Chains A and B, each alone.
Chain A
Amino acid sequence: MATFSTTATVDDPRISLGDDGILPPVRGGRDDDGSGPGLPDYATRLRRARLGLLVALAPILMLFVSFSSAYVVRQGLPTLDPRTNALVRDWIPITLPKLLLINTGVLILSSVFMELARRQIRGQAARASAKSVPGVSVVEQMKIPWLSMTSVLGLVFLFGQWTAWRQLAANGFYVATTPSSSFVYLLTGTHAIHLMGGVLALFIAGIASLLRRSVATRSIVVDVTAWYWHFMAGLWIYILCLLEFAG
């Protein structure tokens, strides 16, 4: 049961002040496009960006779960051969190019570099706030360009995937040759497209410094991209295992 304090008086609920009400002091900066509300603090922005990424990974996962289930079904499903009235299975396993193992190594290494880049810029962001304290001087350590190295390895991986495709084609396995080859192209191709998105994010993070975005903003971009990158690496290992061991 509700209780109500009878000594209170109640005004009509009207608080609209419009855009020219009494404004508290401006905190933080503006959105990079200048049109949003003022930025919340770094911790909130980081948490929100990470949450957004986590949510975004769900449909990507569902896409590959869906492909995987199609893969399993297609592999096991018998079909009616109208000529013999009998059910046959037409799955021919495919030998994956060995190059894929090298590509895997490249991707794992890129993930290591990505993580180092993430920690590097996080440290920079922490030091940046210290630098604004008067009287504090910060010695900048020698910077290994982990971020650029990750991008390079990402591109190497993509090039390696393209080469593996060419090897498959040279052996006579095109997209529609067999169901197994269809899935190889499908799964590796979809993964590659998503990884390209990650490479694009790395470029954006890279030029963000040239565009004078704050180190806090850049740190968030790199952080989110890093988690995305690790997910893509994990996803690739899953795809490879699926094709190799469940083929």
Chain B
Amino acid sequence: MATHEFAAQESHAHPGPQGFIRKWVFSLDHKVIGLQYYFLALAAVFVGMFLSLLMRIHLVAPTAILPFLGDIKPETYLTLVTMHGTIMVFFVLTTAPQGGFGNYFLPIQIGAPDMAFPVLNMLSFWTTFLGFIVMLAAFFVAGGAPLHGWTGYAPLSALQSSGPGEGLGADLWIISIAIFCIGALMGALNFITTTLDMRAKGMTMMRMPLTVWAWFVTAILGLLAFGVLLSAGILLLMDRNLGTSFFVPLVTINGQLTGHKGGSPLLWQHLFWFFGHPEVYIAILPAMGMCSQLLSVFSRKPIFGYKAMVYAILAIGLLGFMVWGHHMFMSGMSPYTAFAFSIMTMGIGVPSAIKTFNWLGTLMRGRIRFTSPMLFAIGFVSLFVSGGISGPFLAQPVLDIQLHDTYFVPGHFHLIMGVASIFGIFAATYYWFPKMFGRMMNESMARWHFWFSFIGTYAIFMPMHYLGMAGMPRRYSQMTEVSYLNGLIPLQKFITYAAFVTIAGQLIFLVNLFWSMFKGKQASDNPWEATTLEWTTATPPPHDNFGGRTPVVYNGPYEYSVPGAPRDYVMQTDPEIKPAH
């Protein structure tokens, strides 16, 4: 007897496209596009990690001569800093969780056969890919890549003469980001329309998995934020190349007037951070959704406080647009404005705290299975707490006086963005790999990967808080010029060693990923015994996701250990259960 009702409604199965180009290159299938985004992010993260490794070496050994690369000059160091940050934030953290897993699983988790606009989806990937190529091209043009940091503050970024790499390299950097904005906006359009308009029968908004809520709100953030970044980029390109003065006041470089006058450097900061702050929530929300999902599945327990979790995601999204000034407390902004932003920033800590309480509440009185996705989900909670706790220090302007632009800040944002968010990507990979590739990843390699990553990243980024307290500024290519900084070099060396070890540990993941695709143990359709819609369909899913049928949904997404049920999980499509929700 069937436990799942399907309505033969709008969709019908038909074979997908034939031919390599239509099937794998210009595919309109959201699953293929999701994988394309994922592998783009994978390439980007290894580029980004390599750049950071060079940074770490130079910082503790400024005069070292490296094989093939020679010595790294101070300006080159700053180029590494700039490109590491830009590539990681855009092409990894905004790409893998949303473009990768969101594309693959959002339609399936809501019971849709594809995204609303498949052609647009395909274009959004190739646009993003083009953006990546342009970004990499900046390394190879005359002058090289820019040195103005991923934040690109004007006038440093607005004047071609302000430093090496600020010529064509900086223009390419801006153009790449502009292209990325357009790709991201196209993707956001698809996510929002699909979530609002293509949910299967019975899939109400309050029955959507928290992963879908996270992707949905992330897309809204992107929709409203990337347009502002694009506008800032356009103005910056105009200042750089057309002689306008949006951001550049009357300045001299090496005593030479530049022809600009009257512009405002703070205007750039306002526009950039109006985008930049929602961007960090774009980076973390999908991982939060993932964590909620996994803690529930592997505690065999519903998520604690589903409604509160949804409201928290919405609150984080909304408040995320109101706090951008906390990046600018020392910028010359009015201290009254700083106070206002500071209060709002403390406010946004509240929904994050609620989510953390709810994650702990999910674990409590559960029945925890320590699978590899679960390890990374648990790791995520720990890292999110650590990264989050340093936030209130920076959110208070009096303390920010001391900590702004010191290593305390990268300690904070790496733990929360550079690690917790990445743990979300790892967790999602281990969790959904069976569904995407029909095979299980190797558990033993996965555990090694987890321990290397968990301990390694703490070893790298926790000490940065101490460095910041002691007064080590950011973006210093070496520490030899200021006497008290010399005393901090041993701690920096420790961080560098930790970085080497941690990055080596990531190779385990790479090997596991590719080996398992071909040689992993065969996976069943629902190896984790989870309830959401992707586990009701074949492994891997057919071209239209559900093999010619449309699912009908009866239950919420977290019905685990329902009293009286024959198994400890009830699929969303199972009509026999009538839980309270």
Contacts and interface: CB of A to CB of B under 8 A. Distances in A.
Interface centre among B238, B246, B249 (most CB of A within 10 A): B246
Given A51-B193, A176-B242, A2 B22 contact: no
Given A3-B564, A59-B227, A175-B243, A18 B542 contact: yes
B192 A55 contact: yes
Contacts of B11: 37-38
Interface stretch (A27-35, A119-127, A128-136, A156-164): A27-35
Contacts, number: 222
B228 A63 contact: yes
A21 B567 CA distance: 28
Interface of A: 1-6, 8-11, 13-19, 21-27, 30-31, 33-38, 40-41, 44, 47-48, 51-52, 55-56, 58-63, 65-67, 69-70, 73-74, 77, 79-82, 90, 175-176, 179, 182, 186, 190
Contacts of B185: 56, 59
Contact of B580 (A2, A51, A190): A2
Given A59-B226, A63-B231, A67-B231, A79 B249 contact: yes
Interface in B488-536: 525-526, 535-536
B559 A55 contact: no
B193 A52 contact: yes
B230 interface: yes
Contact of A4 (B16, B243, B565): B565
Interface in B525-581: 525-526, 535-539, 542-544, 546-549, 559, 562-567, 570-571, 573-574, 576-580
A123 B264 CA distance: 53
Contact of B227 (A1, A27, A62): A62
Contacts of B571: 13
Interface stretch (B47-55, B115-123, B473-481): B115-123
Contact of B13 (A6, A21, A81): A21
A36 B12 contact: no
A24 B12 contact: yes
Interface stretch (B1-9, B361-369, B390-398): B1-9
Contacts of B574: 10, 13
A23 B550 CA distance: 12
B193 A13 contact: no
B158 interface: no
Contacts of A47: 197
Contacts of A27: 10, 12
A23 B16 contact: no
Given A4-B564, A16-B539, A10 B245 contact: no
B356 interface: no
Given A8-B576, A59-B223, A62-B228, A16 B28 contact: no
B562 A4 contact: yes
Contacts of A59: 185, 188, 223-224, 226-227
Contacts of B346: none
A16 B224 contact: no
B275 to A, nearest CB: 9
Nearest to A24: B8
B537 A56 contact: no
A4 B569 CA distance: 13
| Main secondary structure on B side of the interface with A | loop
24 contacts: A2-B559, A2-B579, A10-B3, A10-B567, A13-B525, A17-B538, A17-B547, A18-B542, A19-B15, A30-B14, A33-B119, A37-B10, A48-B116, A51-B197, A59-B188, A59-B223, A74-B264, A79-B249, A79-B261, A79-B262, A175-B242, A176-B242, A182-B246, A190-B234
Nearest to B551: A15
A70 B559 contact: no
Contacts of A175: 238, 242-244
Q: Give the residue among A33, A59, A67 with the most B Cβ atoms within 10 A.
A: A59
Given A35-B28, A58-B224, A66-B228, 5 more contacts: A4-B566, A13-B573, A17-B547, A55-B189, A79-B249
Contacts of B242: 175-176
Nearest to A63: B227
Contacts of A40: 10
B576 A66 contact: no
Contact of A186 (B6, B14, B238, B543): B238
Nearest to A14: B525
Contacts of B197: 44, 47-48, 51
B114 interface: yes
Contacts of B536: 13, 15
> Nearest 6 CB-CB pairs, A to B?
A16-B538, A62-B227, A176-B243, A24-B8, A2-B579, A59-B227
Interface in B289-331: none
